[in-house]
Structure 1
Amino acid sequence: MGILSFVEDRPTPKSVYNWRVYLLAAVASCTSCMIGYDSAFIGTTISLPSFKSEFNFAAMSPSHLTLISENIVSIYQAGSFFGAIFAYPIGFYWGRRMGLLIAGLVFVLGAGMMMGANGARGLGLIYAGRVLAGVGVGMGSNMAPIYISELAPPAIRGRLVGTYELGWQIGGLVGFWICYGVEQTLPSSTKQWLIPFAVQLIPGGLFLIGLVFVKESPRWLLSRGRRAEGLKNLCWMRQLEEHDVYILEEVRMIDQALEEQFGGGGSEFWRPFKIAFSDKRIMYRLFLGSMLFFWQNGSGINAINYYSPTVFKELGVTGTDTDLFTTGLFGVVKTVGTCIWILFLIEWVGRRRLLMIGAAGSSISLWIVGAYIQANPSTGGKMTPGGTAAIFFFYLSTAFYTPTWNGTPWVINAEMFESNVRSLAQTSAACSNWLWTFLISRFTEQMFAAMGAGVWFFFASLMLCSIFFVFFLVPETKSIPLERMDHLFEFKPVRTAHARIMADLQEEDQQFRQELGVSTEKGEVTQVEHAV
Structure 2
Amino acid sequence: MGLLALVEDRPTPKAVYNWRVYACAAVASFAACMIGYDSAFIGTTLALPSFTAEFGFKNYSPSHLALIKANIVSVYQAGAFFGSLIAYVSNWFWGRKNSLYGFAVVFMLGAGMMLGASAERGLGLIYGGRVLAGIGVGGASMIVPIYISELAPPAVRGRLVGIYELGWQIGGLVGFWINYGISKTLAPSHSQWLIPFAVQLIPGGLLLFGTFWLRESPRWLLGQGRREEALRNLTWIRQLPADHIYIVEEVSFIDAALEEQRRVLGGGFWRPFVAVARNRQTQWRFFLGGMLFLWQNGSGINAINYYSPTVFASLGITGTNTGFLTTGIFGVVKTTLTLVWLLFLIDRLGRRRLLMAGAIGGSLCMWFIGAYIKLAGVQSAKKADAKLSSGGIAAIFFFYLWTAFYTPSWNGTPWVLNSEMFDQNVRALGQASAAANNWFWNFIISRFTPQMFLTMGYGVYFFFASLMVLSVPFVYFLIPETKSVPLESMDRLFEVKPARKANKTVLAELKEQDEEFRHDVEGAGLSIVKEGKGAHLEQAMA
- TM-score class, shorter-chain normalisation, is over 0.9
Tell me the TM-score normalised to structure 1 length. 0.97
Residue matched to 1:394: 399
1:516 and 2:521 matched: yes
Residue matched to 1:335: 335
The counterpart of 1:492, out of the listed 494, 497, 519, is 497
Q: Does the 8 Å CA contact 2:63/2:451 hold for their aligned counterparts?
A: no
Q: Look up the equivalent residue of 2:416 and give its one-letter code.
A: V
* Whole-angstrom distance in 2 between the partners of 1:349 and 1:265: 36
Q: Look up the equivalent residue of 2:394 and give its one-letter code.
A: A
Residue matched to 1:204: 204
Instruction: Flag the 1:295–1:520 CA change in 2: closer, same or farther, 3 A.
Output: farther
Q: Does the 8 Å CA contact 1:165/1:338 hold for their aligned counterparts?
A: yes
Residue matched to 1:59: 59
Residue matched to 1:175: 175
* Whole-angstrom distance in 1 between the partners of 2:472 and 2:260: 35
1:209 Cα offset (Å): 1.6
The C-alpha deviation readout for 1:13-60, integer Å capped at 9, x for no partner, is 000000000010011111111000000000000100000111111111
1:519 Cα offset (Å): 6.5
* Whole-angstrom distance in 1 between the partners of 2:342 and 2:213: 23
Q: Secondary structure at the match of 2:6?
A: strand
Residue matched to 2:219: 219
Q: Look up the equivalent residue of 2:259 and give its one-letter code.
A: E
Q: Secondary structure at the match of 1:288?
A: helix
Which residues in structure 2 correspond to 1:429-444 (within 5 Å)? Answer: 429-444=434-449
Q: Look up the equivalent residue of 2:223 and give its one-letter code.
A: S
Which residues in structure 2 correspond to 1:134-153 (within 5 Å)? Answer: 134-153=134-153
Instruction: Flag the 1:437–1:520 CA change in 2: closer, same or farther, 3 A.
Output: farther
Q: Does the 8 Å CA contact 1:117/1:126 hold for their aligned counterparts?
A: yes
* Whole-angstrom distance in 2 between the partners of 1:256 and 1:388: 58
Residue matched to 1:365: 365
The C-alpha deviation readout for 1:412-433, integer Å capped at 9, x for no partner, is 0000111110010000000000
Q: Look up the equivalent residue of 2:397 and give its one-letter code.
A: F
Residue matched to 1:530: none
Moved over 6 A (4+): none
Identity %: 64
Q: Look up the equivalent residue of 1:425 and give its one-letter code.
A: G
1:151 Cα offset (Å): 0.6
* Whole-angstrom distance in 1 between the partners of 2:142 and 2:266: 22
Give the length in aligned residue pairs. Answer: 523
Residue matched to 2:538: none
Residue matched to 2:257: 257
Which residues in structure 2 correspond to 1:194-343 (within 5 Å)? Answer: 194-343=194-343
1:427 and 2:432 matched: yes
Q: Secondary structure at the match of 2:222?
A: helix
The C-alpha deviation readout for 1:441-475, integer Å capped at 9, x for no partner, is 00001111111111101100110110000000000
Residue matched to 1:477: 482
Residue matched to 2:390: 385
* Whole-angstrom distance in 2 between the partners of 1:451 and 1:283: 36
1:514 Cα offset (Å): 1.8
Q: Does the 8 Å CA contact 1:510/1:520 hold for their aligned counterparts?
A: no
Q: Look up the equivalent residue of 1:489 and give its one-letter code.
A: F
Which residues in structure 2 correspond to 1:25-174 (within 5 Å)? Answer: 25-174=25-174
Q: Look up the equivalent residue of 1:227 and give its one-letter code.
A: R
Q: Secondary structure at the match of 2:429?
A: helix
Residue matched to 1:21: 21
Q: Look up the equivalent residue of 2:61 and give its one-letter code.
A: S
Q: Does the 8 Å CA contact 1:293/1:436 hold for their aligned counterparts?
A: yes
Q: Secondary structure at the match of 1:6?
A: coil
Gaps of 5+ in 1: 528-532
Residue matched to 2:412: 407
Q: Does the 8 Å CA contact 1:448/1:455 hold for their aligned counterparts?
A: yes
1:379 Cα offset (Å): 3.5
Q: Look up the equivalent residue of 2:337 and give its one-letter code.
A: G
* Whole-angstrom distance in 1 between the partners of 2:422 and 2:214: 23
Residue matched to 2:509: 504
1:380 Cα offset (Å): 4.1
Residue matched to 2:539: none
The C-alpha deviation readout for 1:271-325, integer Å capped at 9, x for no partner, is 1100001000000000000000000001000000000000000001000000000
Q: Does the 8 Å CA contact 1:180/1:324 hold for their aligned counterparts?
A: yes
* Whole-angstrom distance in 2 between the partners of 1:362 and 1:77: 25
State the Cα RMSD in Å. 1.2
Tell me the TM-score normalised to structure 2 length. 0.95
1:520 Cα offset (Å): 11
Q: Secondary structure at the match of 1:95?
A: helix
1:212 Cα offset (Å): 1.6
Q: Does the 8 Å CA contact 1:9/1:479 hold for their aligned counterparts?
A: yes
